[in-house]
Amino acid sequence: MQFSRLTVTVLAVSLVLNARAQEKPAPKTEPTKEQPSPSQEQSAAKSVSGPAVDAVKMSGSTFESPYFKFTYELPPRWKTLDDAARMAANQQAAQEDMERSKVLLPKKASSKTAKNASATPQPPASVPDRYSLLAASPNGLDSLASPVLPRINIWAHRRIPPMDKAIDHAQLLVSGKHNEILVRPQELNIEGQPFVRVELVNAAGNYQARYVTVIGDFLVGFDFLTQSEKDMVEYANTIKSIRFE
Q: Is cis: bond before 25, omega within 30 of 0?
A: no
Domain residue spans of the chain: 51-102+125-244
Answer whether 0.75 is exceeded by the pTM.
no
What pLDDT score does 109 carry? 47
For the chain, 245 residues long, the average pLDDT of each consecutive 10-residue run is 41 41 43 42 46 96 98 97 96 89 59 48 60 97 95 96 91 90 97 97 95 97 98 98 96
d(CA 65, CA 225): 21
Helix H or strand E encompassing 47: helix 38-48
Query: For residues 174, 175, 180 and 181, what is the CA-based torsion angle, rounded to 10 degrees?
Result: 40
Q: Which CATH number, 3.65.10.10, 3.40.1000.10, 3.40.50.150, 3.30.930.10, labels domain 51-102+125-244?
A: 3.40.1000.10
What pLDDT score does 3 carry? 40
Closest CA to 79 of 61, 57, 105: 61
What pLDDT score does 27 carry? 44
DSSP label at 125? P
From residue 107, give the alpha-carbon distance in Å to each of 53, 104, 112, 197: 32, 9, 14, 41
| Residue 236 three-state SS | helix
**Where does residue 90 rank: exposed (0-12), middle (13-18), buried (19+ CB within 10 A)?**
buried
**What are residue 215's DSSP bridge partners?**
218
**What are residue 183's DSSP bridge partners?**
199
Backbone angles phi, psi at 175, to 5 degrees: -80, -10
What pLDDT score does 102 carry? 77
